[in-house]
Amino acid sequence: MNAAWKYHNATKHSVASLRANRHYLDWENKPRPFKIYPNLEPIPLPRELPPSRVPALSAIAATGVQPGAPRIPDLISLARALHFSAGITHKKVYPGGEEQYFRAAACTGGLYHIDLYVICGDLPGLSAGVYHFGPHDFGLHQLRSGDYRRILVDATGQEPAMQRAPVILACASTYWRNSWKYQARAYRHCFWDCGTVLANLLAVAAADELPARVVCGFVDATVERLLDLDRRREGALALVPLGFDPRPARPPPPALPVLALETVPLSPRAVDYPAIREMHAASALQAADEVKAWREGDVAPVPEPSPPAGQSFPLPQAGQGTRPNETIDEVIGRRGSTRRFARVPIQLEQLSTVLHCATRGVAADFGVSPFGASPTDLYLIVNAVDGLPSGAYVYHHAQHALELLRAGNFRREAGHLGLGQEIPADANVDVFLLCNLDTVLSRFGNRGYRVAQLDAAIIGGKIYLAAYALRLGASGLTFFDDDVTDFFSPHAAGKSVMFLVAGGRSKKPGT
């Protein structure tokens, strides 16, 4: 717990910390956004992907597909999962020929430091192995040949979903690809950006009827060795068992030698931020027994929510009125990050739908009881929503209602809290995701810091997608940590902000 608090407090933003920070962006040293293996030939993934017919809002709100009949992904369904979670959706060419690639999921600074890996048995169209997904060539690069899933089953303390998964996806971060801009705070961004990737992945898996579960408990050293990660510069963040195979447990895996495969340097000179490595090490799990104890400890109950103490605004049932019929593929394909909001009101039903979709629950090994509850609390600054007075609110999940904490026009305050930017000041709604970090760390230890950040980020990613599904816009932002808590106090006293999403009507046509 102490390590998590030390890191969290040291990486808080304040007006004073920003003024004292002499960091600048060295554009000549900017890291490339891809991990490239120069000596590995890519296995091309299918580019002609059959479209989903599942409405986006249904896929976003889904809480997971229950295992039943065998669900073995083939190469096409695997390509869909990879493309719509971490693939390139479009690019922009600037004068002079410089190209910027945009990915399926939002990422801090557009720096795309999250890599996906595939660990699988024999699949239709793909032999058993460990692969790195290359968005730049839309291919798989084989790191190891053979079925290594048993290693991950053991490393997760025999997590049940892992035992029956024909495919396991692993998320990892190359720290420098984000710390180039954000310095030591980039460790928070590991889970923010992993969370938005997972929000996409879970929605696509639900649309394709593939069971999926987020697994945060694993022996870090084992997973990172399997993926051939340089532990000084990279870290494993989460595992996702995908699909369902009812066959018996896997045979023992092949040997696990150190690979040290060559990758293209990211930039002329990488800067090390020891606080990132120290926090990752402090939150690591060392052995399978420790993982099992971590997961099987007392399930963290969510205290019985207090009914709204102030004026309450019940939200309309999600789905009332006209809802767009776009599929999850179409929404992800045009998702961006809104930079300018129109200051034109949105409808209360739209806000209700976004909150409903984002808070149904996530299938994960850090679950709280009852299912669908979360350690994350949603606080809102409402600037322009028809039928809702402007002001500060807290969302009550059980009642699907907003409690008014303070009425008033808080556009100026919203802009300040969002690091002095115009985006949150112009947005219709700003959703701040907070948690009681002491409670989470008491249950999960230092690794609870990963849980707190990731849970909020997945919810934030769902807010992102739901807003775009409603033809609205959204943008993830950073914030002045303690100022956010102070603004929503006394209700939020003792809580820490994990994530911020600004949403509303975009000035850009066709959003």
Task: Judge if 30-265 and 312-504 fold alike in CATH terms.
Answer: yes
Cβ contact 368:299 at 8 Å = yes
Buried b (16+ CB within 10 A) or exposed e, 310-321: eeebebbebeee
The superfamily CATH assigns to domain 312-504 is: NADH Oxidase (3.40.109.10)
* Residue whose entry in the numeric block shows the structure tokens 């990422």: 107
DSSP-H helix ranges across 283-317: 288-296
The residues that bridge with 433 in the sheet, in sequence order, are 378, 499
What fold characterizes domain 30-265? NADH Oxidase (3.40.109)
pLDDT at 89: 93
- Could you tell me the CA-to-CA distances from 309 to 154, 377, 387 in Å, in that order? 47, 16, 20
Instruction: Collect the ranges in the chain with pLDDT lower than 70.
Output: 1, 97, 248-249, 298-306, 318-323, 368-372, 509-511
Q: What is the pLDDT of residue 368?
A: 60
Phi, psi of 447 (to 5 degrees): -65, -15
Which residue, 202, 196, 214, 206, is CA-closest to 104?
Answer: 196
Domain boundaries, the chain: 30-265, 312-504
C-beta separation of 431 from 500 below 8 A = yes
What per-residue confidence (pLDDT) applies to 228?
A: 98
Quick one: which H or E segment has residue 379?
strand 376-382
Residue 232: which residues within 8 A CB-CB, separation 6 or more?
272, 277
CA-CA distance, 499 to 3, in Å (whole number)?
Answer: 20
Query: How many degrees, rounded to 5, is the angle at CA 25 between CA 21 and CA 28?
Result: 150
C-alpha span between 396 and 374 (Å, rounded): 12
Could you give phi then psi for residue 294, rounded to 5 degrees?
Answer: -60, -45
pLDDT at 255: 87
22-59 confidence digits (pLDDT tens)? 999 999 999 999 999 999 999 999 999 999 999 999 99
For residue 447, the 8-state DSSP code is G
Write the CA distances from 467 to 123, 347, 350, 473, 502, integer angstroms: 35, 12, 8, 6, 10
Structure-token match 């979903």, residue found: 161
- Tell me which H or E stretch contains 82: helix 75-86
User: What is the phi/psi pair of residue 221, to 5°?
Assistant: -60, -40
Question: What contacts 24+ positions apart, CB below 8 Å, involve 482-491?
Answer: 482/12, 482/14, 483/14, 483/416, 483/417, 484/379, 484/417, 484/432, 484/434, 485/434, 487/392, 487/413, 487/417, 488/379, 488/392, 488/394, 488/405, 488/432, 488/434, 491/379, 491/394, 491/405
